Amino acid sequence: MTSPDDRPARLAVGVVGTGRVGAVLGAALRRAGHRVGAVSGVSEASRTRAEQLLPGIPVLPVEDVVRQAELVVLAVPDDALADLVAGLASTRTWQAGQLVVHTSGRHGLEVFEPALPQHVLGLALHPAMTFTGTTLDLDRLVDCCFGVTSPEPLRPVAEALVLEIGAEPVWVEQEMRPLYHAALAHGANHLVTLVAQSLQALAAAGVDTPSRVLGPLVAAALDNSLRAGDAALTGPVARGDAGTVAEHLRQLQALTPDIRPTYVALARATAERALASGRLRPQAAEPLLDILASDQEH
């Protein structure tokens, strides 16, 4: 079996930012046969991550990483991306004909505008995945999608890069990137908060292993909702069981102050969606919504 270093390298890759995403994507591109020439990383954690996922690859200043690369991966926080691109343009660091990929979900191609006079080829490739920054992520990439936005002539190139690392490209129009990103953040990041709150409540109820109790239930609910959407809904809100919801609110009052308002907001949204879809009868919804509205007033 050949190693990545034995295969003919198609592109010289430079990774700017070896956080959880950058280091993993660099390793995935290397596994696909590309040659990672250099990476940048400021923090000790980033440098350690680069050493673990990309052993033997030099850690260099950003300008040096960019100058030596045919494909530059910009894996930096959303709020830092535009300034990074503009700064490298002002120092004329970009090379004509370079492919430059950013991994931001929020941004599209607008961030590349300062670099266009230097003839870079910008692509937005956002992995719809949460990262640990370990080799575990390499396997997860094979089962995830990337939100792809590019100039139309570069679309085959953008999609080929995603396919090469084993993922699936999903086209997102430029003007839809912020909504696309909001949807993912709402579904994934807020799920973490919701599960953490539920684990806290179970621990407060005296359950020794909250994750063991909650895990199978949440996994089944997630699977059902992905398959059936709103039709997967069960529980007291779907039944219009106002008394149960009122008791839940009383019990949650003793926990940290973030949990009860979250429950109220999600219960209200759940009731409104169930009512709109016909799963909750109006006469059952009225007392339930009254309880939730009363709690919000307090």
Looking up residue 133, the CATH number of its domain turns out to be 3.40.50.720
Same domain, 68 and 199: no
Same domain, 150 and 276: no
For residues 66 and 72, the answer to whether their CB atoms sit within 8 Å is yes
Same domain, 220 and 151: no
Specify the pLDDT at position 296.
Answer: 60
Specify the pLDDT at position 83.
Answer: 97
Same domain, 191 and 232: yes
> Which of the listed residues 133, 155, 172 is the one where a domain comes to its end?
172
Q: Which domain holds residue 220?
A: 180-297
Question: Which residues, 6 or more positions from 28, have their beta carbon under 8 angstroms from its beta carbon?
Answer: 138, 141, 165, 166
pTM of the model: 0.89
DSSP3 helix / strand / coil % (the chain, rounded to 5): 60, 10, 30
- The domain that holds 203 is classified in CATH as 1.10.1040
**Neighbouring C-alpha atoms within 13 Å toward the C-beta of 225:** 11
Same domain, 58 and 105: yes
Specify the pLDDT at position 10.
Answer: 85
Same domain, 42 and 23: yes
> Which of the listed residues 172, 203, 227 is the one where a domain comes to its end?
172
Same domain, 8 and 120: yes
Same domain, 148 and 19: yes
Same domain, 89 and 235: no
Specify the pLDDT at position 297.
Answer: 53
Task: Please identify every stretch of the chain with a pLDDT value under 70, giving residue numbers as ranges.
Answer: 1-9, 295-298
For residues 148 and 171, the answer to whether their CB atoms sit within 8 Å is yes
Same domain, 105 and 223: no
Same domain, 9 and 131: yes
Specify the pLDDT at position 210.
Answer: 98
Specify the pLDDT at position 154.
Answer: 97
> Which of the listed residues 143, 172, 201 is the one where a domain comes to its end?
172
Specify the pLDDT at position 298.
Answer: 52
Specify the pLDDT at position 43.
Answer: 87
Specify the pLDDT at position 102.
Answer: 98
Specify the pLDDT at position 162.
Answer: 96
DSSP character at residue 146 = E
Same domain, 118 and 63: yes
Q: In whole angstroms, how far apart are CA 189 and each of 183, 231, 292?
A: 10, 23, 24
The total domain count for the chain is: 2
